[in-house]
Amino acid sequence: MPASQPRSRARDRNNVLNRAEFLSLNQPLKGNQDSRSSSRKQSSQAGAAGAQNSNPKERRQSQQLPEEDCMQLNPSFKGIAFNSLLAIDICMSKRLGVCANRASSWGGARSMINLLGITGHGIPWIAGTLICLVKSSTLAGQEVLMNLLLALLLDIMIVAGLQKLAKRKGPYDITPGLLDYLTMDTYAFPAGHASRVAMLSKFFLNHLVLAIPLRILLVLWALCVGFSRVMIGRHHITDVLSGFVFGYLQFRLVELIWMSSNTCQMLISIW
């Protein structure tokens, strides 16, 4: 035992790390430890106080941020397909807007295309129906004209309501005309002209006796009026196609609520 103690003391003396300049490496100062521990405690207390003072909404938002980022970085297949179709629709509609302004490739035919579009406006059709109703003297004619007037009014209200909900603008920044403001046809989706001509053509095909050439011309007129709205840059292609669908649905609705001859006579007498 006495011999082992001098040996251990000699090793301690020979150990370089036991020198004064290296003591800070082996044994950190107590003041540093105290300051670090106190700073950690203060930061933890401040974090706890901040967490208590934060609102539950902020906590939820902070928890939802990574999930929202993941949704944006990894969109669903339906979202990708929808955005792709929307981009194709906008691109094709801009290319087909050959009469959007005077500087377009078919700018000289803009007035003629606008004249074709007037044949699908609601105001001329309502005025013409009222004039024919006043001059009609048969019960069958008055019944058809009253239901046609009902169909035109329903078309204006339904299309105006859908456009207010969608609020989709056209491919070109074109100011609506006076007749468009009267029929509240100020937005793009769905196309009011397309729905109206589709409803009218189907109505006439079902309730009027027409020869085959006239039936073909009626269908061609509806198609030309609908796609003329794309040519002048007022609507997208999908706006016109959806307008055709809504026009057919409006015709089916009028057929379901068809007013009889007695009801039409009562309304005419009141009027």
Could you write out the three-class secondary structure of the chain?
CCCHHHHHHHHHHHCHHHCHHHHHHHCCCHHHHHHHHHHHHHHHHHHHHHHHHCCHHHHHHHHHHHHHHHHHHCCCHHHHHHHHHHHHHHHHHHHHCCCCCCCCCCHHHHHHHHHHHHCCCHHHHHHHHHHHHHHCCCHHHHHHHHHHHHHHHHHHHHHHHHHHHHCCCCCCCCCCCHHHHHCCCCCCCCCHHHHHHHHHHHHHHHHCCCCHHHHHHHHHHHHHHHHHHHHCCCCCHHHHHHHHHHHHHHHHHHHHCCCCHHHHHHHHHHC
The catalytic position among 121, 207, 235, 236 is 235
235 catalytic? Reply is yes
193 catalytic? Reply is yes
Token code pair at residue 107: 């700018």
Alpha-carbon distance of 193 to 186, in angstroms, equals 12
The catalytic position among 121, 193, 207, 236 is 193
Which residues participate in catalysis according to the annotation?
A: 193, 235
